[in-house]
């Protein structure tokens, strides 16, 4: 009797083992997988322009004094027509970028031109925008106008990006000559920090 | 006692040996993928300062043509139905990867109508979760599938993005 029970136990174990193996192997062979891999390499982008693109020449006109003895009043000499737009990319641990400005030409003697950029216009663009440096006295050497630019896009056109504010200051009346015109060319460059 | 133990062990071994051929001959279904997506490089550039990479976010960057094919083989006879699943790994944060089926492929021996496969003909966003792609009831080869990327932006780091797509098929 004990012998038969032993034999039966062995037989049942065998049946169970067979059933489990059939189930497991059946399940594993009924599924199949395949995979593919591909890469996407985003390009390094650095674009900058001044808007409005088709008309970004400005004129700063000094009004003459109204009465004898008065000095030149340049407090109202100001231009806010231009906007600077940029699109730039950045690697994860890569350098931030700055906008530098340099002037070609000679400012009339006794005067200086100052330039500042506003904070980025809200509601447009995305990413890590730069911070304005404050008012600069324009000169031939490149100066940082906006710094700390990461991967971002400001939005395109007037009222996007940073507004440029030009003002005029008198530094020395003794040097100011009667009639002067000056054509000045400003170059804006995106540079790695 | 010892004899009975030997006998019961022998019966167990015989049962396993008998089961093996049945296991090995269990009906199977296989999926193969050939090719990989190719996105037009020009789509990854910016047209004007101040713009992002994609001017029309809703359209994203589609492939100019399908470059990927699926093959599905089975040794099951008679009526059957299978389901294909898809999953994407390493999709960068903020990016949306989509896939769709462009046709029903053909039978391995040629021919085959469009109704053997069902579903998956409109773009489906895929991520790390297993997603049902389409179903079928016939072997099929050269099933054309295409991909689309959305929300690619200059805001994202410009590293090499490595995507992995996993396809899985099983009987329903």
Torsional sign, CA A43, A44, A49, A52: positive
Question: For the segment A68-102, what is each residue's pLDDT rounded down to a tens digit?
Answer: 877 777 888 999 999 999 999 999 889 999 999 99
Residues of chain A contacting B149 with CB distance shorter than 8 Å:
40
Per-residue model confidence (pLDDT) at position B22:
53
Task: Summarize pLDDT for A4-20 with one digit per residue, the tens.
Answer: 776 677 667 666 766 66
What is the predicted pLDDT for the residue at B17?
A: 66
Check whether A184 has a pLDDT greater than 90: yes
Give me the interface pTM, i.e. the ipTM.
0.79
Nearest-Cα distance to chain A for B116, in Å, is 19
Per-residue pLDDT band at A126 (split at 50, 70, 90): very high
Say if residue A39 is exposed, middle or buried (CB neighbours under 10 Å; 0-12, 13-18, 19+). Answer: exposed
DSSP state of A14: H
Please indicate if any CB of chain A lies within 8 Å of the CB of B55.
no
CA distance A69 to chain B (A): 48
| Minimal Cβ distance to B159: which of A21, A29, A92 | A92
In angstroms, the CA A33 to CA B171 distance is 13
Question: Cα dist. A118→A122, A123, A151, A155, A165 in Å?
Answer: 11, 14, 19, 15, 8
| pTM for the predicted model, two decimal places | 0.74
What is the predicted pLDDT for the residue at A28? Answer: 44
Span B152-161, pLDDT tens digits: 889 988 878 8
pLDDT at A85: 97
Is the peptide bond preceding residue A52 cis, with omega within 30 degrees of 0? Answer: yes
């Amino acid at each position: 009797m004990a012998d038969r029970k032993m034999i039966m136990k062995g037989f049942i174990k065998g049946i169970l083992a067979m059933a489990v193996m059939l189930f497991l192997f059946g399940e594993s062979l009924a599924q199949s997988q395949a995979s593919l891999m591909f890469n996407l390499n985003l390009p390094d982008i650095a674009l900058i322009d001044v808007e409005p693109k088709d008309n970004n020449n400005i004129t700063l006109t000094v009004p003459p004094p109204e009465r004898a003895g008065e000095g030149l009043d340049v407090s109202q000499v100001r231009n806010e027509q231009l906007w600077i737009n940029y699109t730039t990319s950045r690697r994860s641990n890569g350098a931030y970028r700055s906008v530098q400005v340099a002037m070609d030409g000679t400012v009339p003697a006794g005067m200086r031109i100052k330039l500042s950029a506003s904070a980025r216009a809200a509601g447009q663009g995305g990413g890590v925008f730069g911070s304005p440096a404050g008012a600069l006295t324009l000169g031939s050497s490149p100066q940082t106008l906006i710094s700390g630019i990461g991967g971002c896009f400001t939005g395109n056109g007037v009222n996007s990006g940073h507004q440029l504010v030009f003002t005029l200051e008198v530094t020395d009346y003794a040097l100011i000559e009667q009639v002067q015109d000056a054509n000045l060319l400003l170059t804006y460059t995106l540079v790695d920090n | 006692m010892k004899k009975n133990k030997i006998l019961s062990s022998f019966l167990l071994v015989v049962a396993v040996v008998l089961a093996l051929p049945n296991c090995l001959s269990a009906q199977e279904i296989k999926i193969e993928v050939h090719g990989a997506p190719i996105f037009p490089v020009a789509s990854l550039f910016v047209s004007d300062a101040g713009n992002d990479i994609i001017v029309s976010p809703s359209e994203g960057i589609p492939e100019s043509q399908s470059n990927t094919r699926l093959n599905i083989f089975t040794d099951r006879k008679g009526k059957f139905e299978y389901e294909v699943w898809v999953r994407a790994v390493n999709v960068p944060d903020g990016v949306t990867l989509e896939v769709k089926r462009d046709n029903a492929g053909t039978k391995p021996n040629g021919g085959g109508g469009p109704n053997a496969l069902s579903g998956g003909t409109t773009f489906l966003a895929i991520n790390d979760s297993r997603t049902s792609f389409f179903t079928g009831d016939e072997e099929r080869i050269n099933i054309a599938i295409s991909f689309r990327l959305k929300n690619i932006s200059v805001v994202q780091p410009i590293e090499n993005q490595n995507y992995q797509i996993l396809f899985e098929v099983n009987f329903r």
